[in-house]
Amino acid sequence: MESAGALQRWLSASGLPQQKMAIRRVEVGERGLVALKNIRKGEKLLFVPPSLVISPDSEWSSSEVGNAMRRHSVPDWPLLATYLISEASLSSSSRWNSYIAALPRQPYSLLYWTRSELDTFLVASPIRKRAIERITDVTGTFIDLKERIFSKHPDLFPEEVYNMETFRWSFGILFSRLVRLPSMDGKVALVPWADMLNHSSEVETFLDYDKSSQGIVFTTDRSYQPGEQVFISYGKKSNGELLLSYGFVPKEGTNPNDSVELSMSVDKSDKCYEAKQEALKKYGLSTSERFPLQITGWPLEMMAYAYLVVSPPNMSRCFEEMAAAASNKGTAKAKLNYPELEEQTLQFILDCCESSISKYNKFIEGGATFDLIALSAKQANRKVLLKQLATDLCISERRILYRAQYILRRRLRDMRSGELRALTILNGFRKLFK
């Protein structure tokens, strides 16, 4: 909070207009922006001038380092990650000193979870795989920069400053604070002050450049009273994606954009494995895919993929259209109708859901124990916090799977009782004719 006060003073002195909000300690998100006055719905707030924004075009305090980076035409994200480290290493000689001093030292995100923590706490969740992919990407990006640029100019990029640890920090900051500005053709930027706003799934407003006031603004979509925390939306993200990039999980049932990925695959022992693989490949898919389930249902693409998985050899003429529909490239979605496969397909999706639910149950109802006695107080606190975050995530993901399970079971029951009725009637006719 102390560094946040210094940030507020520096921003005012550097041209940030007077604000209707101030940085405060808050219940949701630790620090946040709180209304100082009544704020109406539809009001524009912030007006952060472009001179106070960090973007890929920002001037480097060390021009030599900036020139070396420009010569190698580095993409936006690694460029900004290097920029942050370079400016942070210059302390008070950097114009961003007050901003950087107020940034979290360890941004909350899955980038900071060790492989064993991911394996222990997120064993049931598909977000574990996404976190591992992201950590691998960040590590790969650092190694690439090191080989191509840093190692060629050790005087400009000393290893004590530019290393995996500092890159993990700067990427953590980017994942949790970088915004894309739609009115500037999607330009990415760090917007000091605006990045003190926390996320709420109950609002839809987001940061953007406003041509008329020539500043970064957002327009409130609800009113606020003095003392209330003001929120924006970080986008339509699932709880897993929020944990991945921002390190928090919203309260159960409050995120209308929540979803969980369901894995399904073509069985290797399937007589048509090769034909199905070929059809899928043609549309950019593989024999193992993940589809997002929401509390409101599942995508048509998933249904098409499941049809393909259960299809018998005599339906091989339909493999291509199923694969096309599963890839969202199909033109004939409305025709996705295979009554002869319906029951088996729903049963297959139900089996996938139930196998996933049992993994969640195992974790939530017992798994992931750790020996608190063997840990220091700090380590023990960390484990307890991570386990709580993982449990919150798993409960919200399992809730979506439970809903799908309920719908699938009901549909299958109706279908089977319908079939049974039809069979009874048929048997009745048979008896009559006998």
Ligand X SMILES: C[S@@+](CC[C@H](N)C(=O)[O-])C[C@H]1O[C@@H](n2cnc3c(N)ncnc32)[C@H](O)[C@@H]1O
Q: Which residues bind ligand X (CB under 6 A)?
A: 28-32, 104, 108, 176-177, 195-196, 198-200, 246-248, 250
Q: Given the complex with ligand X, which of 65 and 174 has the nearer CB atom?
A: 174
- Smallest CA-to-CA distance from 193 within 206, 177, 209, 181 is with 177
Residue spans of alpha helices (H) in 224-333: 239-246, 273-282, 300-310, 319-326
Q: Given the complex with ligand X, which of 64 and 202 has the nearer CB atom?
A: 202
**CB neighbours (10 Å) of residue 36?**
15
Q: Given the complex with ligand X, which of 240 and 250 has the nearer CB atom?
A: 250
Nearest approach in angstroms of CB 417 to ligand X is 45
DSSP secondary structure letters along 405-419: HHHHHHHHHHHHHHH
Q: Given the complex with ligand X, which of 34 and 394 has the nearer CB atom?
A: 34
Nearest approach in angstroms of CB 405 to ligand X is 29
> What tokens does 166 get?
């500092």
Nearest approach in angstroms of CB 231 to ligand X is 7
> What tokens does 160 get?
């004590």
Cα(402)–Cα(415) distance, integer angstroms: 20
Q: Given the complex with ligand X, which of 247 and 330 has the nearer CB atom?
A: 247
Nearest approach in angstroms of CB 93 to ligand X is 24
Q: Which helix (H) or strand (E) holds 378?
A: helix 377-433
Q: How far from the centroid of its chain's Cα atoms is residue 262's Cα?
A: 15
Q: Given the complex with ligand X, which of 187 and 282 has the nearer CB atom?
A: 187
- The percent helix, strand, coil of the chain (3-state, each to 5) is 55, 10, 35
**CB neighbours (10 Å) of residue 239?**
29
> What tokens does 121 get?
């706490």
Nearest approach in angstroms of CB 410 to ligand X is 34
Q: What pairs with residue 235 in β-bridges?
A: none
Q: What is the CA radius of gyration of the chain?
A: 27
Nearest approach in angstroms of CB 335 to ligand X is 43
Q: Given the complex with ligand X, which of 240 and 247 has the nearer CB atom?
A: 247
Q: How far from the centroid of its chain's Cα atoms is residue 270's Cα?
A: 34
Nearest approach in angstroms of CB 31 to ligand X is 3
* End-to-end C-alpha distance for the chain, whole angstroms: 88
Residue type, 154: P
- For residue 336, give the DSSP letter: -
Q: Given the complex with ligand X, which of 106 and 263 has the nearer CB atom?
A: 106
Cα(117)–Cα(18) distance, integer angstroms: 44
Q: Given the complex with ligand X, which of 3 and 316 has the nearer CB atom?
A: 3
Q: Given the complex with ligand X, which of 94 and 198 has the nearer CB atom?
A: 198
Nearest approach in angstroms of CB 196 to ligand X is 5
Beta-strand runs (E) in 182-230: 187-189, 198-199, 208-210, 215-219
> Residues near 6 by Cβ (< 8 Å), separated by ≥ 6?
98, 101, 102
The Cα angle at residue 30 between residues 25 and 34, in degrees rounded to 5 = 45
Nearest approach in angstroms of CB 208 to ligand X is 15
Nearest approach in angstroms of CB 42 to ligand X is 23
